[in-house]
Amino acid sequence: MARQADDSLTAHLTREQYRVTQEHGTEPPFSGEYNGFKGDGTFVCICCGQPLFDSATKFDSGSGWPSFYKPISGSAVESETDVSLGMRREEVHCSRCKAHLGHVFPDGPEPTGLRFCINSVSLDFQPAE
């Protein structure tokens, strides 16, 4: 569901970032800057800056999107059932600002068995100090 445009977001997000985070879009697979990225630090919400994922939990799922096996904390992201596109999936969004991030699937590595499949454009990266 599209939200009413927020001037503060449209001022600092690209059109693609806005489409994905506010209109529940998806970037094309293998197109995002963080898909093959390997850096030490924290991935944060592009909209509000909340820390979402530690780089130590990132793995190559082969899906075409950055994948993580767990959020940085139990309260960083929230999920809800998404039945769009004729599928039943769990949508993941930022718990602070509700920006759409991607989806979570039960086919990830241990220790969680989860794969948080996240759009690169919904993330920013803060290198470890």
Query: Among all residues, which ones are annotated catalytic?
Result: 117
What the block records as the tokens of 89 is: 């999936």
Q: How far apart are CA 118 and CA 71, in angstroms?
A: 11
Side chain identity at residue 53, one-letter code: F
